[in-house]
Amino acid sequence: MNSSYNEREVLALLQEESTQKRGFEMIVAQYSEQLYWQIRRMVLSHEDANDLLQNTFIKAWMNIDYFRGEAKLSTWLYRIAMNECLTFLNKQHATATVSLDDPEAKAIERLESDSYFSGDKIQKALQKALLSLPEKQRMVFNLKYYQEMKYEEMSEIFGTSVGALKASYHHAVKKIEKFLTEED
């Protein structure tokens, strides 16, 4: 996180056509890394995560005039990123289903062959457990566990109640625990 980043200043820059590009560059610098890792935990592949991150920022730039500041910029960006992930994963599942391959097995195979993944056995087991979760549950778990995001903020991203998100996180944790105990 950039300590000199001030959301109010950035929003002011975005309002003016002459400073909009500079404001957006500050957004990219501020949020690239955390968005990359959030996307990466969903799609696993470095290349896919990079592509989806670029798509997220392209969509954000193309729609910047529609951003009214009712939500935080980060919430808005996460919503775009999560939608990009879901679209990507749905396309992947559709392709895998057509070819009768197991999409989960394919994802695990990609994880294990990914030269960017340097995790030990425990990390790999957790990633496999995460892959066994439904996409939305995995997103909720990732945002809560890795980003320590508050349920209220997630509620704005997903348009879901705080109670439903807490339940989703709880179910995810239980499934992961079950998966990990069965792996041993």
Integer CA distances (angstroms), 72 to 6, 63, 122, in order: 12, 15, 35
Confidence (pLDDT) at 96: 63
Q: Which of 1, 2, 27 is nearest to 13 (CA)?
A: 27
What the block records as the tokens of 109 is 């195979």
Domain assignments of the chain as residue spans, ordered by start: 1-116, 119-184
Confidence (pLDDT) at 183: 74
Question: What whole-number distance in Å separates Cα of residue 10 and Cα of residue 70?
Answer: 14
C-beta of residue 142 within 8 angstroms of C-beta of residue 41:
yes
Q: What angle do CA 35, 10, 48 make, to 5 degrees?
A: 20
Mention the CATH class of domain 1-116.
mainly alpha
* Best CATH choice for the domain 119-184 from the list 2.40.50.140, 3.30.70.890, 3.40.1160.10, 1.10.10.10: 1.10.10.10
The continuous run of DSSP H or E covering 145 comes out as: helix 135-145
Confidence (pLDDT) at 118: 54
What the block records as the tokens of 114 is 């990914």
Residues of the chain with pLDDT under 50: 99
